[in-house]
Each structure stands twice: as structure tokens, then as C-alpha cells.
Amino acid sequence: MNSLPWIEKYRPRLLNEIVGNEQIINKLYKIKELNGNLPNMILSGSPGIGKTTSIYCLLNELLPESMRKEAILELNASDDRGIDVIRSQIKSFCSKKLTFEDNEEFKGKHKIVILDEADSMTIGAQQALRRTMELYSNTTRFVFACNQSNKIIEPLQSRCAILKYLKLEDKDILKRLLVIIEKENVKYDESGLQALLFTCDGDMRQAINNLQSCWLGFKFVNDSNIYKIVDSPHPLIIKKILGIKDLNKQLDILNLELFDKGFNAIDIITIFFRIIKNIESISESVKLEMLKLVGFYHLRILQGCNSNLQMYGLISEINKLL
């Protein structure tokens, strides 16, 4: 058990262990009260916020352990996403009779097909699923987990209940991190926790991975160690650039503390956006102008323009607003 990654070791097993997205979890409790008569579902939201975990927690409470292996088929649709998978694996699973189908415990319940990363499925595969869902509606339910529900075709969306997960709040992530820190006897300081929350951006999986990596690598969790682990520019450097009005000094910091240390323009401009969005010492109108500039220069960098030159241009434009 000790060799398990912490994201698996501390993965919730029951619905009451999940943090955040209370409204969605309450809906899953209501579905649980239907005693296994699940609707087909689409779970959408950004990565690392508990979509797949929550459906497994629901199934853990609905199905005895002895039945789960035979009654649940999970496919990661980013690997198995062609029409052949629908015709072979999924259809054969839907049509097979379970050994315990007549068991009193299984009465009223259904087999479950979980398609993770379902927005990566080909259009042909999604269209083939429509008929399969109808043919086996008496015995099988489908759960699609995806980052963007609009990439699921309309006919599938109309057959499913859509649950939209929100990014986790900092307080929810912090609550789980403190539990892990206590159980693993991790040494940390407050700056380390703030850095974990900043770098994960609402992604619980990334926060726990960063915590474990930092603890294994440095045996102490603080902000400088976290930023070394995630290989991301330190927000204090960005704040330092925004805190001075001398353009030459700003460009020196950009070169010496960011470009010379190997950070690319995309990393830097992403942190710029998040810092400017949350900075309180700037008026809303100036903040809005700055964010427009960041968006404009971000687009230019993505289009392949000289990255360093674009960052110099952004800094000089921001300097005029300070």
C-alpha cells in the first residue's frame, strides 16, 4: 500500500468522502436512492476534479464488491475510441448474461459502461453507440466522462443526463491536502500550501501529485520547492515586474530571472494573466486593459510570432498603464 501514488492511496471510495461540487454529489445521492436504476450520464468538467472518482464511489455503494468486476466495463476512450471497439468490446459486454443476474442483490440494477475521455471518441464511434444504447437499454447504462460535453454529438447528449462539474475551490483542495499531510507526516510551511493551490488551479489530482513529488524530492514543502517541481515561473517575479515602473529594469528581470532560466513565453504569459486577474492594487479599468493586452499577445505567441519579442512588447505596453 505504501508504494501506491498518493492520488490512488487517498482516492475517495464512497460519496461522503468526496470534497467540492456538493450539488452534483447531492444529485448522485438521489440517483443512489433509485436503487441502481441509473440514467445514462455525461459528466463534464476540467481534469482532476473528481468526475470518474465520483461515479466509482456511486457504484461502490450500489454494487457489492463481488459483482463490480463483472458488471462494470471501463474504457479510456482516448485509447479505445474507434468504431471497432463499439462493435466488439462494448456490444459483447452489453449482450452477455451475468452469472449473478438472477441474484436478489442485483435485482433492478444494470451493467455499467464507463467511457473516460469520451470527447476523444471519433464521430463514427459516437454514432454507432446510439443504436447500442437503445438496443440494450433494459440491461446496460452508459456513463461518459469528458472535458468538453459539446464534443459529444447531440443524439448522445439527448439520451443522457448531463452533470457539469466545476473547478474545485481552494478550501476544498486544502482540506484534502491537510489530511494527506497529517497522515504522511509531511513537513511544510504556509508558503508551500499557497504555492500548491496556485499551481494546481482547481485540479485536485495535480495538487496531490505536486505535494508527493515535492516531499519525495526535497523532504520539505515550501513555495520555492513547489515551483521547482512544476517548473513554473514564481509569481513573486511577475509581481516584481508589475511593481516597478522603470521599463529597463522590468526587461532585465524578464531576461535574467525568466528567459535565462529556461522558461518559455507561454509559461510566463499564463502566470501574468493569473496574477493580473487577482491583483488588488490596480484599478478595475487598468486591470481590464492589461488583460486585453495579455490576451492579444498570448494569441500572437500561439500563432508562432517571436516569443521573446512579443513578451518585450507586452511588458512595454503594460508599463504605459502603470
Alpha helix (H) residue ranges in 162-283: 170-184, 190-200, 204-218, 223-230, 235-243, 247-253, 265-278
158-to-25, 112, 161 alpha-carbon distances in Å: 22, 19, 8
Give residue 57's domain range. Answer: 21-164
106 and 152 belong to one structural domain: yes
pLDDT given at position 295: 94
- Which tens digit of pLDDT belongs to each residue from 87-120? 788 888 888 877 666 666 666 678 899 998 888 8
> pTM value?
0.84
Whether 105 maps to a domain, the answer reads yes
190 and 109 belong to one structural domain: no
56 and 116 belong to one structural domain: yes
Whether 11 maps to a domain, the answer reads no
133 and 54 belong to one structural domain: yes
State the CATH number of the domain containing residue 144.
Answer: 3.40.50.300
- Which tens digit of pLDDT belongs to each residue from 29-38? 888 887 767 8
Instruction: Report the DSSP beta bridge partners of residue 76.
Output: 116
226 and 239 belong to one structural domain: no
State the CATH number of the domain containing residue 176.
Answer: 1.10.8.60
Whether 195 maps to a domain, the answer reads yes
**What is the count of structural domains for the chain?**
3
The amino acid that residue 287 corresponds to is K
195 and 83 belong to one structural domain: no
**Comparison of pLDDT for 81 and 61, the residue scoring more:** 61
In the predicted structure, residue 248 carries a pLDDT above the cut 50 = yes
Domain boundary among 182, 199, 230: 230
29 and 160 belong to one structural domain: yes
SS3 197: helix
pLDDT given at position 122: 83
25 and 156 belong to one structural domain: yes
Starting at the edge strand that comes first in sequence, how are the strands of the sheet with 41-44 ordered? 72-76, 111-116, 140-146, 41-44, 161-164
State the CATH number of the domain containing residue 255.
Answer: 1.20.272.10
Give mean pLDDT, residues 197-209: 92
74 and 209 belong to one structural domain: no
